[in-house]
Structure 1
Amino acid sequence: MDKIKQVAIVGGVHGNEFSGIYLVKQYQAAPAAAARPSFNTELVWANPEAFRANKRYLHSDLNRQFKLVDLANTALSNYEQSRAKVLNAQLGPKGRAKTDLLIDLHNTTSNMGACLILTQAGTFYNQLAAYVKMVMPEAIISRDEDHIAAQDHALMCTLGRYGVLVEVGPQSQSVLRHDILELMHTMTQHILDFVELYNNNNLPALPKHTEAFRYLHSIKLPMNEQGERIGMVHKNIQDNDYQPINPGDAIFTLFDGTEIYYNGDVTVYPTFINEAAYYDNNLAMSLNEKVLITLE
């Protein structure tokens, strides 16, 4: 049976997402909380210089530096690009990693609750999703471009043989919230418990079907021809992550009072609504479809 022998819990890929940083610090102070008998756990603080600068990143987004081709490109040498290569050596190397499961901890300013984000498909991920949703019904399961091969994914979690993101919000940048830190801890503990049960071939009966949301595409804020913002997310959409947007629903309000309506032909589900970190790209939200993860 496929065993998970080495786990890495990574916090602080983004320097102003504090829950992951402080959860790793808590686990470092009390290692038993991150330990289980059947595997070793490494605790990693990914981007300390960005944290010290109180920024998401210094030069470029660390969580976009992990494509195999970029890791091999020595010309990519700014701080985050170099840091990615260090982390690849420590936890990877990608494609033949010493880390069997990488758990990457993130915060969002959006009202997304506790989300388990899967970037790859397969039996292990399907069972993990079913288990987490069963023991933590409020959890959201997200599938983010899991049709793309790991080597072509830029996200850090794809360094490991398996990898997931724990994304929890809402939490403002550069602050801590007790409830959000607790949610992150709870979901992380469930993932560790799952691995222990998985390794010992002792998983409980899991639901055959688990609801999930699959990323489709992102949409931008309204802009004029000069690239200036001329509107904002509609108040009926704000904070309603994972709630349905139907064709014809208002999604933006322009500063002159005009409403912009969703012109798709199927119901979609928004996430990362008004995420502060994405304003540099004028992204308003991501749109998802609802899917079922089915165990064989």
Structure 2
Amino acid sequence: MTDSIKQVAITGGTHGNELTGVHLVKHWSKCPEEVNRDSFETELHITNPEANAEVRRYIDQDLNRQFSEKDLNNPDLNGCEQKRAKVLNELLGPKEDPRVDFVIDLHTTTANMGMSLIFNTDDPLVVGMAFYIKQKMPEATLFFNPSDRMKDNFLTSIGRLNGFLIEVGPIAQGLLNYQVYKDTHTAVMHALDYLELRNTGQAINLPKQQEGYRFVEKISLPEDSDGEITAMIHPNLQNKDYQEINPGDPLFMTLGGETIPYEGDKTVYGAFINEAAYYDQHVGLSYMEKVSIDLKNS
């Protein structure tokens, strides 16, 4: 069985224009009884205050890509978010031997992904959390992308157990929406309740397997030789996150109105479709594959 959880960090504002997590952290700072549990300590952090003050995703770099062990230990990385990652590593880590057991990082998306539970490990405590929240919130989608914690560059990887990312959408950048706020609040309460149940040895009846999605690759928007975007997400695909994309299905629509089909030879599923935050890299969507996620004995 995984060691008991003693220290949990809830983080918001890793992307400064995703206000739901920022305002939940502010709310819980004033109402800590909502996140307090008897068997562990809960701490609250706004992780990128500089970007949040300017309501920007980031100042220099995406903060949620700066937490690999290699980058954290590279003194030559001196951008705003690279330095901030090192500060957070000192505060929550260090990554090699973290002070914090578990990180719950709160995000929103402009894509129509609903309640997405993103976790990068097959540790039974973390998988069990995803299954538990889905029991309570059946509409949730499991986004499973296992990786080596020391190489993982997400903020959640600072935690000893490679943490948990809650991503809710659609919502425009820089806005609050009560339903998104409420759903995120609810998911966090379930996550904390689950950790309390685990810590106190109470029985939790969970399925041994659940359906989810695993990241395959990011797909760029079509460009010309000058790097200018020449097509956009096809209207048939817009808002169709986690739905099938079959060979020959419309994928992009050119600026002139011509359809570009999906040319792959197997069915994939879209996620982060037309995500506004990825336009700086001209990324149109991510391909996912449907997978069965196993809950191992703990």
CA-atom RMSD, angstroms?
A: 1.0
Which residue is 1:211 aligned to? Answer: 211
Which residue is 2:232 aligned to? Answer: 232
1:117 equivalent in alignment to 2:104:
no
Question: For the residues of structure 2 that align with 1:51 and 1:193, how far apart are their CA atoms?
Answer: 29
1:91 equivalent in alignment to 2:92:
yes
Aligned residues: 294
Map 1:271-290; keep pairs closer than 5 Å: 271-290=271-290
Q: Spell out, residue by residue over 1:106-140, the C-alpha distance to the aligned partner (whole angstroms, 9 max, x if none).
A: 11111111111001222222212221111110111
Q: Spell out, residue by residue over 1:10-35, the C-alpha distance to the aligned partner (whole angstroms, 9 max, x if none).
A: 00011100000001011111001111
Q: Secondary structure at the match of 1:212?
A: strand
Task: Tell me which amino acid in the other structure corresponds to 1:268.
Answer: V
Q: Secondary structure at the match of 1:172?
A: coil
Question: For the residues of structure 2 that align with 1:280 and 1:94, how far apart are their CA atoms?
Answer: 29
1:160 equivalent in alignment to 2:159:
yes
Map 1:1-296; keep pairs closer than 5 Å: 1=1, 2-144=3-145, 146=146, 148-162=147-161, 163-296=163-296
Q: Spell out, residue by residue over 1:23-52, the C-alpha distance to the aligned partner (whole angstroms, 9 max, x if none).
A: 101111100111111100000010111111
Shift of residue 77, structure 1, vs aligned partner = 1.6
Shift of residue 293, structure 1, vs aligned partner = 1.2
Q: Secondary structure at the match of 2:245?
A: coil
Q: Secondary structure at the match of 2:244?
A: coil
Task: Tell me which amino acid in the other structure corresponds to 2:270.
Answer: P
Q: Spell out, residue by residue over 1:245-292, the C-alpha distance to the aligned partner (whole angstroms, 9 max, x if none).
A: 111110111112211111112211111011111001000001101111
- Asked whether the equivalents of residues 121 and 127 of structure 2 are also in contact (C-alpha less than 8 Å), the reply is no
Q: Secondary structure at the match of 1:190?
A: helix
The two structures have a TM-score, normalised by structure 1, of 0.97
Question: For the residues of structure 1 that align with 2:212 and 2:96, how far apart are their CA atoms?
Answer: 27
- Asked whether the equivalents of residues 269 and 290 of structure 2 are also in contact (C-alpha less than 8 Å), the reply is yes
Shift of residue 70, structure 1, vs aligned partner = 0.9
Shift of residue 295, structure 1, vs aligned partner = 2.6
Question: For the residues of structure 1 that align with 2:215 and 2:9, how far apart are their CA atoms?
Answer: 25
The two structures have a TM-score, normalised by structure 2, of 0.96
Question: For the residues of structure 2 that align with 1:5 and 1:48, how far apart are their CA atoms?
Answer: 26
